[in-house]
Chains A and B, each alone.
Chain A
Amino acid sequence: MFLSVFSMAGCTSVSSVEDIEEVADTQNVMEDDTDEGLIVIGFSQVGAESDWRKANTESMVKTFTREKGYDLILEDAQQKQQNQITAIRTFIQREVDYIVLAPVTEDGWDTVLTEAKDAGIPVIIVDRMVNVSDPELFKCWVGSDFELEGRKACEWLRNYCENKEIAPEEVNIVDIQGTAGASSQIGRTKGLKDAVRANGWNLLEEAAGEYTQAKGREATSRLLRKYDNINVVYCENDNEAFGAIEAIESAGRKVGNNITAGQIMVISFDGVSDQAIEYAKNGKISCIGECNPLHGPRVEKIIQNLQQGVTPDKYEYVDEDIFSGDSTVTSIEVDDSVYTIKILGK
């Protein structure tokens, strides 16, 4: 399964794959210089709540192997900030060389990151952002521009509606939100809200989906009972979208692009799992804003730079695409950049 994700990623962000190889080469040279032997990295992961998260973890595990001179200690926090704080404290006691943190929420990191700084351990943040008083508390951040993802997906919807001559006031959207307070939730929600305001769509309700299939299903079926005019379900990740599709189908409705004919359009994010791509191909999901989970190589590059005393950029965005199974829209423009839609053929 992992391989397929990898190859899929390969077709979407070719550059990063090349990076891996380059870095791996330099790494082999490097190894002889360090007396300690292995570089110990403590990685506090949020959990395993979604396919994206798993691909993210896999990417880290596959990158930081013993063969390449790393010792990765992975701590699964099971969605709890408290567990992450405990994990970081354990890392400090074990005197790891680097701490990689994929924070569950943005707030509440000051204390523990100060401890890490005092202990002289550099911290690299991945995926979601942290909100700290002193930006020096972490070395750098690697992740996606979630707001951009949201804006791209909305731009696709706008283009699609224009092409199909659907009036903005006929677009009735519900937003199945991700884990409240997560950067991705905040960014994707903001992207949607801005677009709703700019285009005059109806945003019927925002519901909590917590990035899980079960919650997505539950929220959607509740909303379907409440509103009978929903025609766009904006899910903030794939797992929520799977749940939403189930809910729509078990309520006796159909998913698809043809919203004027009573179908319900599902828009989603991440696009890491085969199933999501499959759904996009056969039109169950109309549009997926990709969120690249392959942070491992980027983090490795940063660590290599740090080892050599090079200060990396503070913020690094990964490249991301947008997929659809429908060829109505071929390219969109956001902030003066043009993005080509990856049309997934059947």
Chain B
Amino acid sequence: MSKIFKNQIFIPVAALLLLMLFNLVIDPSFFKISMGVNSAGNPVLSGYLITIINNGSELAILAIGMTLVTAASGGQDISVGAAIAIAGSTMLRVLCGTNTRPDTLSTPIFVAFIVGCLVAMAFGAFNGVLVSIFKIQPMVATLILYTAGRSIAAWINNNELPIISDPKFGYYGGFIPGIPIPTPFFIAMACVIIIFLVLKFTNLGLYTQAVGINESSSRLNGINPVFIKWLTFVILGACVAVAALIKVSRLSSINYSVIAKDIEMDAILAVALGGNALSGGKFNMAASIIGAFVIQTLTTTLFKYNVPSDALPAYKAIVVIALVVFSAPTFREAVSKFVKNIKGGKNKEVANV
């Protein structure tokens, strides 16, 4: 029992179950999934659970990269939202060519994705260089891209808003005809599977943790900490590109100042909710990914009860604080002491009698 309680993954899972339980008690229709037909005439599933796995996908993908960056560098990348804008803008630019409202795509989507991916990884590499070579704290280093990112994204498309009319481009953020489950979920699952395979068949996990815990010692054991830190930022860049593809595909367009706004905060939260120390070192990837879905479940639940989107953060904040307070070691210690005291008091009373 205590082992389960102590396990890192306990916190996000418990939070998820708690939220589900809350919905089950208040309104079981939360779990209703119905089959409908979308405008393209395809059968699609809809319901709150579908919304969660659909909209939580980008967050889960980002949480993967963010977890690695956090583990290796002991800091967070706050530029992922801006980087998504850049990657998305690049993809649209490549797809559209010179015409911002093309009838046909000027390049295959695959090529556009690769280019967007390279650009996102290049920006990740830029952050990585600042952090690993210049030894600037990650939050500060990524503040640069955070400030400039959306401007760069606007600049890539001359501040125009390209719109893709080809319905195929919409598949990545919507539905593939004939498959009623939203595509982003498949993409997220693919990313999750890839990262777990990578963690299993390479030493990425061991190296990033070693570097995050003790850089100097890792170096003396033959690890190149500079490269590992840099690598985690590049991997995050790749995650950003995938998330960007989903984001722009959802709209078939882009809004530079709004796209993926505040997603960095949610991604960092996902890592923290997963019980991973934001100061780096040991990490649990599964916990982070569940953490991402906890956040999305919370968001969807709040939406369901008609909390306006602007007021949403206030409720989120309360839940987050409750979670971190509950998982704070100091708090747990105090509670267990308190419980002990009560029990101890009872025992003494018994003894007195």
Contacts and interface: CB of A to CB of B under 8 A. Distances in A.
Q: In the complex they form, do A and B come into direct contact, defined as C-beta atoms under 8 angstroms apart? A: yes
Interface in A295-335: none
Given A1-B101, A275-B163, A214 B174 contact: no
Query: Which of B38, B39, B255 has most A Cβ within 10 Å?
Result: B39
A274 B162 CA distance: 11
B316 to A, nearest CB: 16
Contacts of A66: none
Contacts of A248: 39
A212 B258 contact: yes
Contacts of B306: 222, 226
Interface string B30-41: 000000111110
A236 interface: no
Contacts of A253: 39
B46 interface: yes
A213 interface: yes
A62 B93 CA distance: 24
B255 A1 contact: no
A249 interface: yes
Contact of B255 (A214, A222, A255): A214
B251 A213 contact: yes
B258 A275 contact: no
B46 A251 contact: yes
Contacts of A250: 38-39, 174
B258 A274 contact: no
B260 to A, nearest CB: 11
B171 to A, nearest CB: 13
Given A218-B309, A222-B306, A275-B163, A249 B255 contact: no
A23 interface: no
A240 interface: no
Contacts of B40: 249
Given A212-B255, A214-B258, A252-B44, A1 B39 contact: no
A179 to B, nearest CB: 13
A246 interface: yes
A51 interface: yes
Contact of B253 (A78, A213, A218): A213
Given A1-B160, A213-B253, A213-B255, A274 B38 contact: no
Interface in A211-243: 212-214, 218, 222, 226, 242
A48 interface: yes
Query: Which of A54, A226, A249, A250 has most B Cβ within 10 Å?
Result: A250
A254 interface: yes
Interface string B166-188: 00000000100000000000000
Contacts of B253: 213, 242
B163 A252 contact: no
A228 to B, nearest CB: 12
Contacts of A214: 251, 255, 258-259
Interface in B66-115: 100-101
B37 A275 contact: no
B331 interface: no
Nearest to A50: B161
A222 B161 contact: no
B160 A252 contact: no
Nearest to A214: B258
A275 B165 CA distance: 10
Nearest to B38: A252
Interface in B1-52: 36-40, 44, 46
A242 B255 CA distance: 13
Nearest to B99: A1
B36 A252 contact: yes
A226 B253 CA distance: 27
Contacts of B347: none
Nearest to B34: A252
B39 A252 contact: yes
A74 to B, nearest CB: 12
A308 to B, nearest CB: 35
A1 B37 CA distance: 35
B227 interface: no
24 contacts: A1-B101, A1-B160, A48-B159, A54-B160, A78-B257, A212-B255, A212-B258, A213-B255, A214-B255, A214-B259, A226-B306, A246-B251, A249-B38, A249-B39, A249-B40, A250-B39, A250-B174, A251-B36, A251-B46, A252-B36, A252-B37, A274-B101, A275-B101, A275-B163
Interface of A: 1, 48, 51, 54, 78, 212-214, 218, 222, 226, 242, 246, 248-255, 274-275
Given A213-B251, A246-B251, A252-B36, 11 more contacts: A1-B101, A1-B160, A214-B251, A214-B258, A214-B259, A242-B253, A249-B40, A250-B174, A252-B46, A255-B39, A274-B101
